[in-house]
Amino acid sequence: MQSFGRSTISSLSLAARRALYNTRSSTGCTRRPLTTPASLTRRTPRLRTSTTTPPKAAYLRSAASSCSYSSTLAGRSTLTVQFAMATHKEILAKLEKNFDSARESGDLLFFPSEVHTHAENGVEFQIRLCPALQNKPRLPTPDFSKDAPSPAAQEKKRHDPFAPPYVPALYLGEVRDESEGHEYVILFNKYSVVPHHFMLVTKDFQSQTSPLLPADLVQVYLFLLAAKALGRKYFAFYNCGDLSGASQPHKHVQLIPLDDDGPPVEKLARATKLDRENSPFSLAALPYANHVRRLPSSLSSTTDFDTLEQALAGAFIPLLDLAFQTVRHDASYPAGTPSYNVFLTLEHMHVVPRRQEAHTLAGTGEQLSVNALGFAGMLLVKSERELEAVREEGVTKILRGVALEAAHEAQTESFRVADDHADAPHED
């Protein structure tokens, strides 16, 4: 069994270390921490409530404590990736037929669109024009509060579209993490702009402000692997927090089909040459903070469940830490739990910290909402007027407006120094 190395853990921020060492999951289950040197565990400081805690540190600590990030690998010795993704294949195999049936029943609303390309900074951005979205029912503003629900919040929760009873036409099945007992329901997106758009939703209510758990990452990646086995290509994205473009407070990861090249920004990641394959990097052509990790080339063909979980969690934790660092060093960042976007392919994991949910278009004065799809290179507009305004202003300027200033090289220097220190000989 692999464990996080000394250099990886020692380079994490206090917020990320708290998330890593917390042994209570967001669902209340006790979970074993990752195998780590006892000395490191002792050196990890215990956070205390203090009236003198700076606001920025307070909300970073709150973000970290919203969910535990320890991983249990015991009990998986007989579980293989192929066996685990059998249900995922079954769900994907019936996707097209069920999608058509859901449309015919009227339970799923499909909005036709056309894709326009816009070349900028070496990226062929896709701007999807969907005039029919102007008639989409306006959804209530999601409540991302993690506090004890008020009577009004309890009433709103009764109308949670991701809670049972599920609409039969939108329900695709369920998957379960056998080691830790996390359960998920698979649902179609009721308002689809892209055919066969579906979601992995936590069966019990968990907040959309909480980080992705190792079990979440594994289940998402199993769907990507299952799609590959069926000759299809999907990618996944997660909008975390109230500034991320999330439309529902119930934790859900979304998956949509793609062509063979993947999302536009993925091409930049694929073309990036790395000195160290297992280190975070950024896409320098993009003028905003973005953090990327290349996944091992062997991961998409691994048969070992432990290897899969360790690789995914080991990629996400440093990226999350870098996102927190980006926010912490921005003195003007709005108060509250930090928001960020995540998108995942078979090859890379991307995390982009967010400053605001929408951008005001200079040409029209209208608000353009941006979620993880925008940072993957795919924007959505509702009119020709918006389309022209986006082209005129520039996609990267819009994305920079809702993201943060790039400072990746300075941030990752601490990771490199820590790794070099760990690699050097030590006296006992």
What pLDDT was estimated at residue 405? Answer: 92
In this structure, what DSSP letter does residue 53 have? S
What pLDDT was estimated at residue 394? Answer: 97
Distance CA 322, CA 57 (A): 15
Does the pLDDT at position 64 exceed 60? no
What pLDDT was estimated at residue 413? Answer: 64
Token code pair at residue 320: 């999350």
Q: Of the ranges 52-56, 248-252, 406-410, which one carries the lowest mean pLDDT score?
A: 52-56
Does residue 3 belong to any structural domain of this protein? Answer: no
Does the pLDDT at position 328 exceed 70? yes
Does the pLDDT at position 93 exceed 90? yes
Q: Return the closest-CA partner of residue 14 out of 35, 37, 45.
A: 45
Does the pLDDT at position 45 exceed 50? no
Does the pLDDT at position 62 exceed 90? no
C-alpha distances in angstroms, 76 versus 36, 79, 193, 220, 309?
A: 19, 5, 38, 18, 11
Does residue 407 belong to any structural domain of this protein? Answer: yes
C-alpha distances in angstroms, 424 versus 4, 16, 39, 285, 371?
A: 17, 25, 18, 33, 42
What pLDDT was estimated at residue 220? Answer: 98
Distance CA 319, CA 332 (A): 22
Average pLDDT, the chain: 80
Q: Of the ranges 9-13, 139-143, 173-177, 420-424, which one carries the lowest mean pLDDT score?
A: 9-13
- Mean of the pLDDT values across residues 304-321? 94
What pLDDT was estimated at residue 335? Answer: 84
Does the pLDDT at position 409 exceed 90? no
Distance CA 19, CA 323 (A): 14
- Mean of the pLDDT values across residues 365-393? 97
User: Parallel, antiparallel, or unpaired for β 109-110 and 114-120?
Assistant: unpaired
Q: Are 237 and 254 in contact (CB under 8 A)?
A: yes
Does the pLDDT at position 46 exceed 80? no
Does residue 194 belong to any structural domain of this protein? Answer: yes
Does residue 363 belong to any structural domain of this protein? Answer: yes
Token code pair at residue 204: 């019990």
Does the pLDDT at position 60 exceed 70? no
Q: Return the closest-CA partner of residue 395 out of 114, 115, 116, 127.
A: 127
Does residue 27 belong to any structural domain of this protein? Answer: no
C-alpha distances in angstroms, 278 versus 93, 141, 399?
A: 34, 39, 27
Domain, as residue range, for 291? 79-136+161-423
What pLDDT was estimated at residue 98? Answer: 98
Does the pLDDT at position 343 exceed 70? yes
Q: Return the closest-CA partner of residue 381 out of 198, 142, 115, 137.
A: 115
Q: Are 179 and 192 in contact (CB under 8 A)?
A: no
Does the pLDDT at position 290 exceed 50? yes
What pLDDT was estimated at residue 32? Answer: 32
**Please, which pLDDT band fits residue 202 given cuts at 50, 70 and 90?**
very high
The number of folded domains in the chain is 1
Does the pLDDT at position 65 exceed 90? no
In what helix (H) or strand (E) does residue 153 lie, and over which residues does it extend? helix 151-157
Q: Of the ranges 40-49, 99-108, 370-379, 406-415, which one carries the lowest mean pLDDT score?
A: 40-49
Highest mean pLDDT among 14-28, 60-74, 394-408: 394-408
The whole-angstrom distance between residue 130's C-alpha and the CA centroid of its chain comes to 25
Distance CA 343, CA 268 (A): 14
* Residue 216 phi, psi dihedral angles, 5° rounding: -60, -50
**Please, which pLDDT band fits residue 189 given cuts at 50, 70 and 90?**
very high
Does the pLDDT at position 415 exceed 70? no
Does the pLDDT at position 21 exceed 50? no
CATH number at 125 reads 3.30.428.70
**Please, which pLDDT band fits residue 426 given cuts at 50, 70 and 90?**
low
**Please, which pLDDT band fits residue 81 given cuts at 50, 70 and 90?**
confident
Strand stretches in 245-397, DSSP E: 252-257, 291-294, 339-344, 348-354, 358-360, 367-369, 378-381
Q: Return the closest-CA partner of residue 241 out of 173, 307, 327, 143.
A: 143
Does residue 24 belong to any structural domain of this protein? Answer: no
The residue ranking higher by pLDDT, 131 or 32, is: 131
What pLDDT was estimated at residue 144? Answer: 59
> 228: buried, middle or exposed (CB in 10 Å: 19+, 13-18, 0-12)?
middle
Does the pLDDT at position 33 exceed 50? no
**Please, which pLDDT band fits residue 135 given cuts at 50, 70 and 90?**
confident
Does the pLDDT at position 54 exceed 50? no
**Please, which pLDDT band fits residue 260 given cuts at 50, 70 and 90?**
confident
Q: Return the closest-CA partner of residue 348 out of 238, 250, 221.
A: 221
Does residue 50 belong to any structural domain of this protein? Answer: no
Does residue 45 belong to any structural domain of this protein? Answer: no
Distance CA 243, CA 230 (A): 35
What confidence tens digit (pLDDT) does each residue in 226-257 have?
Answer: 999 999 999 999 999 999 988 889 999 999 99
